[in-house]
Chain A
Amino acid sequence: DAGVIQSPRHEVTEMGQEVTLRCKPISGHNSLFWYRQTMMRGLELLIYFNNNVPIDDSGMPEDRFSAKMPNASFSTLKIQPSEPRDSAVYFCASSFSGVGELFFGEGSRLTVL
């Protein structure tokens, strides 16, 4: 059974460029989460969706970050324009709301030069 699928696994870009990270949650899960991992802050929640609706985006750093979930099987996290301080590993995770645990993808490592 496929887990959470993220792409790209690695992205290197220059400051000012647009970055789009993609996520396919586990089929049947109705909650989707975007986390960012940094040395300083550990796993930091950026935004989560329930039934494709954004529930809490208070963790999104600033207006340069946006996330969408157009359907139950796809989500994007976009950074425009990107800055060096955005360099981190971004994880997508999914769950069935209210039941059990969170399942993570393998992450997208972003480096902004």
Chain B
Amino acid sequence: DQQVKQNSPSLSVQEGRISILNCDYTNSMFDYFLWYKKYPAEGPTFLISISSIKDKNEDGRFTVFLNKSAKHLSLHIVPSQPGDSAVYFCAVRDNYGQNFVFGPGTRLSVLP
């Protein structure tokens, strides 16, 4: 059973608008949440993270929101740019701090 779900395999957004990527997890013991971005033929690269003691973390155009009661995580990109087109993976770190579990990814396309 998947511990981390990203129910939208793909998302298309117009340049300049907001992109919202969603992620749900099953285990309330997870304590650290991350978003990774992946371009074709490259490894995933870290984008932004949030600890379970916070509900929001912002870094430039990227903001991650955490709703612990709903076990839901979202990434907002605003304004979206064509260079943001990539696959975005949600990931969680277990409470032992050793293992990272990834969702299946959402392919974002930002249209000029």
State the A residues within 8 Å of B (CB): 4, 31, 33, 35, 41-43, 45, 48, 50, 55-56, 91, 93, 95, 97-99, 101-107
Contact = CB atoms under 8 A, between A and B. Distances in A.
Contacts, number: 54
Interface residues of B, number: 20
A4 B44 CA distance: 12
B30 interface: no
B99 A48 contact: yes
By secondary structure, the A interface counts as strand
Contact of B102 (A31, A35, A95, A98): A35
B4 to A, nearest CB: 9
B43 interface: yes
A106 B46 contact: no
B20 interface: no
Contacts of A95: 100
A102 B89 CA distance: 12
A95 to B, nearest CB: 8
B43 A42 contact: no
10 contacts: A42-B103, A43-B89, A43-B104, A45-B101, A45-B102, A99-B97, A102-B100, A104-B36, A104-B43, A105-B43
